[in-house]
Amino acid sequence: MGAQLGGGGMMAEINMTPLIDIVLVVLIIMMVNIPIEIERMGVKLPAEIEKRTEPPKEPIQQLVVMLYEDGALALNRVRMDEDRLFGEVTRRLRASDKKIVFVDAHPARTWNDVMDIVDLSKEAGAEKVSFARMKDDGPLPPTGLEAGAMPRGVYPGSPRAVGAITTIKADEQFRPVVPRIEACWNEALARSSSASGRLVLSVDIGPSGELMDHSVMENSTEDAELDACVMEALPGLRFAPLGYDDEGVGKTARVNYPFLLSGG
């Protein structure tokens, strides 16, 4: 506050400079501390594109092999002979993720008869075979009879792999040899047009994917020339290397391949 001399007497006024300085400092502090707001603009994004998925697999019917008192066979109550049953079980298991077969046998059948059906199911590609509850009257009676025969040809089943190879890989890597087996079968049909049956092959695979051993485990046609022809075809197999374990020991595998041979 200052004083001014003059005719009008003394006049007092406030010195605003310090106040203005303080206000400016406070204003600057407030400007620094106030968060900056970014103006947001609403954008409508397109809806998420629906992911393409494979069509759901057709549900696989439970497989029940029925062995009746008179020795007759049926699959899910449809009566058929042994070769046709083997082919149907093979075909259906190949398309199934759960490779399970149930055996429903009449109590009058022997244990050996039942084990023959178990072996047949495993040869057809079953990874697990279970037994239905035994009933005094045996399995339910057939509701149908399989008509006609399968078209002429060779029908691969689901392989059974043991060791350092998966069933899927074994199946993929065996496919190149199937045409040669079909050629062997056509030669067999030229010798006997009514021939039909089952063929089970076994191969042993070494660490480098080499074929260590191979054999015909079963040939229900009992055609020795067919065996010889197939044995000549198998050395052409080539597998992906199986590798070695941490101790440097080579990994190995054994794969059994079932086939249904149809004369049409």
pLDDT tens string 143-200: 877 765 578 888 888 888 899 999 889 989 888 899 999 999 999 999 988 888 888 8
Which range scores top for mean pLDDT: 8-12, 25-29, 214-218? 214-218
Nearest to 143 by CA among 67, 87, 86, 74: 74
Distances (CA, A) of 226 to 71, 179, 193: 29, 14, 14
pLDDT of residue 28: 80
Which fold, 63-145? Nucleotidyltransferase; domain 5 (3.30.420)
Which position has the token pair 């279970």? 130
Cite the residue boundaries of each domain of the chain with CATH code 3.30.420: 63-145
pLDDT of residue 238: 86
Nearest to 119 by CA among 65, 60, 63, 171: 65
Average pLDDT in the chain: 82
Q: Which residues, in sequence order, are CB contacts of 81 under 8 Å at separation 6+?
A: 73
pLDDT tens figures, 32-59: 666 655 455 555 555 554 454 544 444 5
Token duo for residue 195: 């021939």
pTM given for the model: 0.60
Counting Cβ atoms within 10 Å, is residue 201 exposed (0-12), middle (13-18) or buried (19+)? buried
